[in-house]
Each structure stands twice: as C-alpha cells, then as structure tokens.
Amino acid sequence: MKRLVLYCALCMLFYAHADYIHADSPSALKLDHHDALFTFFSLPDGEAMLIQTGEGKTYLVNTASPKSQQDLMTQLHHFGVNQIDHLMITSHNRTECGNINRIVKRYHVEEIYYGATSKQECIKQSYRTKAKEWKINETHALSKKVTVKPVAATSDGSLSLYFTYEDTSLLFLGSGDLSLERQLMKDSALHAEILKIGGYAKTKSPTTSFLEKIDPHIAFIYPLHGVLPNEGLLERLEESWIDVYVLRKVGTTSVHFSNADYELYPK
C-alpha cells in the first residue's frame, strides 16, 4: 500500500506544472573569492549543472535535451551567466548534449571536455571551439579549491565525474549501469557527500552496497520526459537516510560551498 501511495504521488508531481526557478533562488548570492556554487537545473527533459566560482570562472556540465533549450537559456540568464569558460559533456545522448550548438554560440565557450565516445555524436556541433578528450583519473583544477576528475566510463561512453571542494566531494554518475558501480567499487577511497544519480533514477542503481560505500548525505535526480524514477530506488534512498532532491518536484537547487562547508538553496 505504501508503494502504491508513493507511486501515485510521484505521478501527480510528474504531470503537474513545475516552477523551474524558485523565488528564493541564490542567483543573487555573492561568492567570496574561494567559494563555489553548484546549481542543479530543473528542466523539462535532461540534465545540466552549472558551476560558478568566486574567482569568476563558469562551467557547465551537459546541456540537457532540445526540449529544454529555452528553459536552460532562461535559467542561465537568471544566474547571470554571460560566458561559459568550459563545457563538460558526460554522454553523447541528446538528453545530455542536445544543446551544445546553441550553448557554444551564445556563451562563447572556450573549451569542451568530453569522453572517448562522445566526440563523433556531440562534439561535432562545436564548430571551431577547442575540444579535449578527458583521461580517466586525470585531475583538473577549476579553481584553487575546486577540482574535477573523470573516474569511470561505461561501454556506451557515459562518463562519471568526481568533484571536490576541500574535503567535500560530489560524485556525478554518468549512467545507471550496474557495471559502473563495479568499476567504482574498486576504488577503496571513493566517498561522496553529494551524489548525482545516474540514468535519471530509472534503473536499480545505486544499490545498497554502493550507497554504503559512497555514504552520501544528499542525492539529486534529474527529470527525464515521460519517465518516472524507479519506485524501489526511491525507497532504498529513503531507507539509507539520504535527503533526495527530485528536481522536477523541488525545482532548481544550488549547493553553496564555502569555508570547507556547504549549504543548499532554496533552504
């Protein structure tokens, strides 16, 4: 009975109109020099995450699907984005790289980073923008306190990224493939306070054993048009005492990193 009630509630949320930007969004938040703001956009379809640093750098991870183009542009404007220094692409699927052409032209992207199999499908949209293939476990500094490194790639080319801000980490899973979990489980030191669920939470991943290893406090789920999150997975996350942010329900949400701590907005 509990599962039926939960599923019906999700259905109502899925088909209801969503306000993608909250009134108390942190778009006007002033970042100190060493701060960073990670924003998970609530969009009609697909995923995009904005990273802004107190040093004035702006990064975008994925560009969502063509169905989300106008919403993505509106929200980037809302967050004061005029230029994107680097674009990171984790998959060649249209729900992750469907707006590269528009983003590259509008925001004068300096460089694109991509996984080994993304170039043919996605990066060809980038015209003359410099593109670079990422190597697994190669660390890149986004600011003095923020780093990112690709930690695994699946057979379909989906890339998972591991971000750190001092001692706090965020694992951006590129897919919901169980084989990805097996790769990541080999890293005994891998841990993340914040987890972006892969595959739009439509698969059985992450499993209980993976959650126990990673030990996240917060999980984000992006919306995929026409698909609801896996009911069993939502229950598993809840049973693991993880705060789950289903973006279609809660709207665009940001994580403000400052002084070795983080805070979520809207609060």
State the pTM of this model.
0.88
| Percent of the chain predicted with pLDDT > 90 | 72
pLDDT of residue 115: 78
8 Å CB contact between 214 and 185: no
216/195 Cα distance (integer angstroms): 6
Domains of the chain by start residue, with CATH: 36-256 (3.60.15.10)
8 Å CB contact between 93 and 177: no
pLDDT band at 27, cuts 50/70/90?
low
pLDDT band at 35, cuts 50/70/90?
very high
The mean pLDDT of the chain is 87
pLDDT of residue 57: 96
pLDDT tops 60 at residue 125: no
Nearest to 148 by CA among 135, 158, 131, 157: 135
Half-sphere exposure of 112 (CA within 13 A, CB side): 29
pLDDT of residue 267: 67
